[in-house]
């Protein structure tokens, strides 16, 4: 399995490949640790873990708590007005998200030249890399991961947010192998009854209506991508691929894909709720949560929509304690 750094064409081969755009996504760099360990605010910089044309990502540790974080440092002067607006939209969306399987945005630091996003660090790497290293998942393992993915995406949709770039490269793993959805660069708010029209994301995960240039409501394109992800977890390969974008488009619009012999009937039945050419006939995530395959082994705890944790009275005391330690209220 190899990577092909592209957003706008599918490469060749049977295994998984990356569909990254170097201008939009972080590219890996050599991990270099500075001897002087510079600081950004209350964070000690440990090493560089990612680098792109307009941004780099540093691994850092909070001086007071010892918590490791990822700091994305963006050079604002390299971005045009449209890119800046997209960046600020991403920040605005992430600031309002609080789900155990979504990467948390802890803090935003801005100056005249840079925007720094202090985010949760998922040290288990990408699901993509996990599949490359270990091969396809057994259905029990895939189910555990997919339940977390569906829960987080349903949470986004309940807040009228569509991700629009769901793929194995944007699914991270923490130290306990829990899913953390990342990269909200293509995310947007949606309003029922009002259509979106931007083609964005990675073509192998893109819904057919995007290839056709049709406007869309929002959630249904994420639902299609979830079907591609489920197939990828269970099979270790993509359901739709091609030597080029034209070939990939033709395969997606046909909606034909091979069902591996080892895929269970229940899993296949669920998959067919996602990969439906007609977007109005795709399954809703609330109905998917009740699907048989999703809840095998979890009959006593079927998947339910995630509800934001209520504010606890004693949280006020914890908040004051953190302020006394040197944080400001916005940092906590």
Active site residues: 165
Instruction: Tokens 């991403």: give the residue.
Output: 90
Instruction: Give the CA distances from residue 294 to residues 146, 176, 225, 238, 239, in Å, rounded to whole numbers and listed in that order.
Output: 8, 21, 17, 20, 20
**SS3 at position 160:** coil
Q: Binding site membership for ATP: which residues? A: 72
**SS3 at position 210:** helix
Burial class of 168 by CB neighbour count within 10 A (0 to 12, 13 to 18, 19+): buried
Tokens of 266: 């229940």
E strand or H helix that includes residue 115? strand 114-120
Tokens of 191: 């309003």
Sign of CA dihedral 33, 168, 68, 85: positive
- In angstroms, the CA 25 to CA 33 distance is 22
Render the burial of 38-65: b for 16+ CB within 10 Å, e for the rest.
Answer: eeeebbebbebbbbbeebbbbbbbbeee
Q: Binding site membership: which residues? A: 72
- CB atoms inside a 10 Å sphere around CB 133: 9
Does residue 69 contact residue 106 with C-beta atoms inside 8 Å? yes
Does residue 89 contact residue 185 with C-beta atoms inside 8 Å? no
- CB atoms inside a 10 Å sphere around CB 241: 21
- In angstroms, the CA 332 to CA 328 distance is 7
The distance in angstroms from the start CA to the end CA of the chain is 42
Instruction: Tokens 């920040």: give the residue.
Output: 91
């Amino acid at each position: 399995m190899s990577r092909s750094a592209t957003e706008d064409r599918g490469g060749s081969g049977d295994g998984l490949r990356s569909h990254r755009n170097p201008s939009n996504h972080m590219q890996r760099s050599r991990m270099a640790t500075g001897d002087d360990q510079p600081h950004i605010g209350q964070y000690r910089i440990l090493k560089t873990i990612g680098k792109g044309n307009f941004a780099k990502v540093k691994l850092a540790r909070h001086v007071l708590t010892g918590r490791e974080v990822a700091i994305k440092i963006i050079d604002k002067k390299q971005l045009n007005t449209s890119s800046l607006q997209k960046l600020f939209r991403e920040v605005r969306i992430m600031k309002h998200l609080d789900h155990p399987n979504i990467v948390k945005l802890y803090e935003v630091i801005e100056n005249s030249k840079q925007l720094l996003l202090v985010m949760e660090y998922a040290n288990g790497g990408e699901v993509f890399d996990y599949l490359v290293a270990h091969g396809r998942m057994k259905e029990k393992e895939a189910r555990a991961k997919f339940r977390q993915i569906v829960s987080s995406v349903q949470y986004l949709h309940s807040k009228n947010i569509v991700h629009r770039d769901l793929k194995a490269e944007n699914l991270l793993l923490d130290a306990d192998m829990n899913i953390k959805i990342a990269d909200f660069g293509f995310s947007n708010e949606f309003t029922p009854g009002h259509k979106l029209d931007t083609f964005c994301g990675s073509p192998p995960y893109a819904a057919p209506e995007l290839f056709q240039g049709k406007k869309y409501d929002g959630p249904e394109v994420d639902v299609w991508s979830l079907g591609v992800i489920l197939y990828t977890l269970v099979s270790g390969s993509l359901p739709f691929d091609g030597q080029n974008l034209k070939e990939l488009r033709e395969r997606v619009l046909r909606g034909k894909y091979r069902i591996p012999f080892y895929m269970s009937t229940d899993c296949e039945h669920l998959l067919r709720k996602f990969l439906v050419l007609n977007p109005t006939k795709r399954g809703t995530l609330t109905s998917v949560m009740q699907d048989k395959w999703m809840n095998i082994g979890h009959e006593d705890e079927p998947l339910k929509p995630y509800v934001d944790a209520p504010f606890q009275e004693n949280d006020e005391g914890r908040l004051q304690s953190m302020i006394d330690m040197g944080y400001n209220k916005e940092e906590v």
